[in-house]
A and B are shown apart, each in its own frame.
Chain A
């Protein structure tokens, strides 16, 4: 990576990154991917988020499902760790709580493959600053 030398450079990079994210989210592009974010803060990891994340990566790979699994910080739902956010292109993101391996498999088998929501969705109860 070359250094960002000015505000203009920074803006350019921001636009690049944002357009990449949009492509993923919109789903009107052949590159669109299913994205899963695993809440990997101390609370999540303590509740087994690492195992969940590893399982998701392996299982999706094993089943040949094109998906990106990334880590993120604490979503705030500490009572329901491990939590994940599932983003299927063209749909509203969905947060699942208590995602252990069993739940993760259920999510893959039903929600990802059959577009069938499963129990354990956590309703998002906040708004972001841009809303």
Chain B
């Protein structure tokens, strides 16, 4: 058995590869071989360290030394100094920007504190189908602590002191919600877990239920104890079969272990949880619509007040919280309100899970303290933009959020800042767009989603969004006018102002924020009938560059509609009246002769 005693880990992420990390690896290998060290030291590529700004990254193990901005010519020095002489190459160490101190171990780097896993603490760590692994990681101890040591009022006080706000999008203080529901007198109350996650690209709730279902069960029981409810309901979309299965398994285990049912932990408190399936309607994430759906009625919102805390499921006081909100509860009880409120910003405490998607290298689920900037999320954690393209915008808050530009990259993420910037927290979808994305099309895309998902109850959302969408289609087809741009703005304002529920009140956000931040793109579509990103088919043309065309006839032979003509070995020509803009010629051309204009 070969026993390497040292490993050199070279970042193989897209960003670092662009900065010659391949060459760095090769240099290490060759130089180690020359020195005969290739049996002792192993060089490997890793995935993205997520610290692309300081790339390429090289990490030496086992001593965890972390070198940044390594150049191919630095490998020799690292081998000679670090590996042979045991002295760290100081100039390549990461410097703390505040203190200018050099940091050797990656664990001590601020960078590694960018993600803090509270809600996701057990996801990807424990076996979700084994309750004992959950218990082994402090599971159900928060429930036990509440039942044994805290009164419901004291528990609520802890949640209030922690500053936890609803993670489903609204950001309502959780402790206050519990307190209000507690104060309403009723013979029966309900705890409802909103697992009707519907934002495009968002899947944090599903991941929590799949990876750590017991944390939600435990938190629901704590909530039941606090508000005086003996029944809990999880409203989950039927499209989440694995989450449902894991949750069912977890519920059965919790009952078996006596952590659900009558007289939990000998306290006299009893709690039971049932699952209700949703048919996958986005609007059912709105709590009144969710409750109607659970009651077997049409899933549409009703005017608040009355709030569910007064009159909810079956007319009884009902506390509705989102999956992620619940997942935060046990650690708050276990580690205390002060611990939780030490994370985050003044008004937004704790962490937030985001589903990073779009034109970003490290698509995935991340959890960062409130107050982390968009730049840190996108560049440090997300590994930057795919294929080295330019960042254009990030869309937060799901379909009802807004598109934020580079101007907002350094905005600390919290509920209030995002709102002020014209977007919102939402449930935590974060979709990154690059220079190839047409912002008019993006607004159209999001509006299509809200159009499909509108319940149709109120006029502005039902008809207004339809009209907004029609105007956007008109613009992307090159038929728009300046007046249409004004109409978009005016109609959006009315829709926001008059819609019944949060869906309609926020649905024009993608339109308004793109109008605010990318007006020039709208104007280009309307005035010069051009799509600057080259995405709107109706506005682009494929043309052949006479200089580059060799007359190979490949495009001619592949064009499905016979729009291309020309003699062999002389420049070809595309008849724009016949072209259907399928892009086949563009893909086939080996000489870069076909251009999009």
Contacts and interface: CB of A to CB of B under 8 A. Distances in A.
Interface in A1-39: 1, 3-7, 9-11, 13-14, 17-18, 20-21, 37, 39
A104 B401 CA distance: 41
A62 interface: no
Contact of B50 (A17, A85, A125): A125
A14 to B, nearest CB: 5
Contacts of A115: 1-4
Q: Is the interface of B mostly helix, strand, loop or mixed?
A: mixed
B112 interface: yes
Nearest to A46: B242
Interface in A90-131: 92, 97, 113-123, 125-129, 131
A71 B211 CA distance: 9
Interface string B340-379: 0000000000000000000001111111000000000000
Contacts of B125: 37, 72-73, 128
B538 interface: no
Contacts of B258: 3-5
Interface residues of A, number: 54
A41 B242 contact: yes
Contacts, number: 189
A37 B210 contact: no
Nearest to B125: A72
Contact of A76 (B129, B331, B366): B366
Interface in B5-36: 7, 9, 11-12
A42 interface: yes
Contacts of A76: 120, 123-124, 207, 364-367
B590 interface: no
A78 interface: yes
Contacts of A45: 242
A22 to B, nearest CB: 10
Given A71-B129, A115-B3, A42 B240 contact: yes
Interface in B196-225: 203, 206-208, 210-212
Contact of B203 (A3, A43, A79): A43
Nearest to A71: B127
A3 B117 CA distance: 30
B265 A7 contact: yes
B9 A121 contact: yes
A5 B206 contact: no
B124 A39 contact: yes
A127 B44 contact: no
Interface string B517-557: 00000000000000000000000000000000000000000
Contacts of B4: 115-117
B137 to A, nearest CB: 8
A80 interface: yes
A46 to B, nearest CB: 10
A75 interface: yes
Interface stretch (B138-146, B404-412, B457-465): B138-146
Given A71-B127, A129-B121, A114 B1 contact: yes
Contact of A127 (B48, B115, B361): B115
Contact of A126 (B203, B240, B362, B367): B367
A74 B353 CA distance: 13
B335 A129 contact: yes
A117 B41 CA distance: 11
Given A114-B1, A119-B12, A129-B116, A74 B124 contact: yes
Contact of A14 (B46, B114, B136, B211): B136
A79 B360 CA distance: 10
A101 B520 CA distance: 50
Interface string B232-267: 000000001011000000000000111100000110
Interface string B98-126: 00000000110001111111101111111
A39 B129 CA distance: 13
A77 interface: yes
B244 to A, nearest CB: 11
Contacts of B365: 74, 76, 78
Nearest to A10: B144
Contact of A71 (B61, B128, B203): B128
A125 B115 contact: yes
Contact of B132 (A17, A39, A41, A119): A17
A41 B120 CA distance: 13
Given A10-B265, A42-B243, A121-B46, A74 B148 contact: no
A54 interface: no
A14 B544 CA distance: 71
A129 B331 contact: yes
A17 B136 contact: yes
B124 A72 contact: yes
B127 A10 contact: no
Contacts of B9: 117, 121, 123
Nearest to A93: B125
Contacts of A78: 363-365
18 contacts: A4-B258, A4-B265, A7-B147, A7-B148, A13-B135, A72-B125, A72-B127, A73-B210, A79-B361, A80-B364, A116-B2, A117-B4, A121-B44, A122-B48, A125-B49, A127-B115, A127-B117, A129-B121
Interface of B: 1-4, 7, 9, 11-12, 42, 44-50, 59, 61-62, 106-107, 111-118, 120-130, 132-133, 135-136, 138-141, 144-145, 147-148, 203, 206-208, 210-212, 240, 242-243, 256-259, 265-266, 331, 335, 361-367, 381
Given A45-B242, A72-B211, A83-B124, 4 more contacts: A4-B259, A7-B265, A120-B46, A123-B49
Among all A-B residue pairs, the 7 with the closest Cβ atoms:
A73-B211, A3-B258, A17-B136, A75-B124, A126-B115, A7-B144, A76-B365
